Amino acid sequence: MTTRKQSRRSFLSNGLALGCSLAASPLLTPVTFASAPWENRLVVIILRGGMDGLDVVRPYGAREFAALRTGSGKDVLDLDGYFALHPSLARLMPLWQAGDLGFVHAVSTPYRDKRSHFDGQDILQAGIGLSAEGRVRDGWLNRLLQNVPEAEAETAYAIGRADMLLTRGKARISEWSPDAGLTLTPQAELLLEQIMHDDPLFRDAAMEAIMLSGFEAEMAGEAQPTDSAEMMDAMKGTMRGVRKGNRPESIAGFAADRLRGDTRIAAFSLSGFDTHTNQTKTLPKALDQLQTAILTLKQGLGPVWDKTAVVAMTEFGRTARLNGSAGTDHGTAGAMLLAGGAIRGGRVVTDWPGLSEADLYMRRDLLPTRDLRAHTGWMLRQLFGLDSHLLETTVFPDLDMGSNPGLIL
């Protein structure tokens, strides 16, 4: 490890004395912030849709992998001789080489077998075991802050409904989301409802987004759309504005700006990881968003990057084998991505289970060998000096953290 890393380890060690619902949000991505009485920073990125850990961190050294994932062994970005990084994350390789990027593989929440995005996200963001399912109504990040007496909410501005279970609870947490207004006339709203009449879930989400945008089509001085074609053009233009404000660089850039100040924790979500079909085309788009967010954080944080740990987690992994549509179905174990100057990177941390059919969970999924919450708990303990008992009973109920994987310097 470089001298820079060694000096950082010494600095951070001396600072440890202190003794995310809908499965995806197509229109709004809330960002949540909190200030707290410590110097280290934490960024939690919820990846919605079930990121395929076997594709993101490829075990190309396993002889079974080539048969399970035809073509995935080509053009690999070697990490350690056994695992390789997805080519769409190539811009993160300098972080890996600097020790500022790492991965945890073959992990999952306690969620098993039902493979619902909604339930999976709830369990991920609530941070609970199956015994607490249905009884816990707040998120693990909020419960953490409930037990930090000096934690304070940072004042911020929110548009829309910032509904992340991860941060919901009694602790005061400020919320912000990118400026995004759906400036539709009443006629356009009616047309949109008619168009999506046969898709109630999407229709209701769109109608709610229009209502929550806070804009009621007061196009002062502008000509109103007079027919369906014009209304559809207006709606498309509005949606382009939403997407622009919702870009990962906008979200991560604002987060970095706040984290350079009093904010100590930021949480947001990225979607697009549900890759049932044509995964070679769909997954790269989502991964590019993720790497853009991480690189934007690094650039925006400046010297604070050395005090920051970023953890990206998802509700479940995906099947070991490709399906008939060249995609992957909902699975079990997956991978976590870690970044930041505070992490001990340059490693793939795993109790690797193997990929033979007998080694797979239910002969279809990567077998979970450790609870995702245990790794998160150890990160919180090392970053913030939190008590293990608090983490195992309150922040993550019914958790056995086990041995320390040493994710933080």
The domains located in the chain, with CATH, are 3-178+247-395 (3.40.720), 186-242 (no CATH)
CA-atom Rg of the chain in angstroms: 22
Query: Residue 31 has what pLDDT?
Result: 78
The vertex-69 CA angle with 67 and 73, nearest 5°, equals 95
Residue matched to tokens 């990125």: 45
Query: Residue 184 has what pLDDT?
Result: 53
Kindly tell me the sign of the dihedral angle through the C-alpha atoms of 52, 56, 57, 60: positive
Over 80: is that where the pLDDT of 188 sits? Answer: no
Is 79 in contact with 87 (CB distance < 8 Å)?
no
Query: Residue 381 has what pLDDT?
Result: 97
Query: Residue 79 has what pLDDT?
Result: 98
194/315 Cα distance (integer angstroms): 33
pLDDT in tens, 244-284: 556 889 889 988 998 998 889 899 888 999 999 999 999 99
Confidence of residue 43 (pLDDT cuts 50, 70, 90): very high
3-state helix, strand, coil in the chain (%, to 5): 40, 15, 45
Over 90: is that where the pLDDT of 64 sits? Answer: yes
Query: Residue 220 has what pLDDT?
Result: 36
Over 70: is that where the pLDDT of 341 sits? Answer: yes
Is 388 in contact with 401 (CB distance < 8 Å)?
yes
Mean pLDDT is highest, among 143-152, 173-182, 183-192, for 143-152
Instruction: Spell out the residues 6+ positions from residue 379 whose beta carbon is closer than 8 angstroms to its own.
Output: 42, 309, 311, 407, 408
143/169 Cα distance (integer angstroms): 7
Phi, psi at 91, each rounded to 5°: -70, -10
Over 70: is that where the pLDDT of 133 sits? Answer: no
Is 251 in contact with 29 (CB distance < 8 Å)?
yes
Query: Residue 58 has what pLDDT?
Result: 97
142/34 Cα distance (integer angstroms): 10
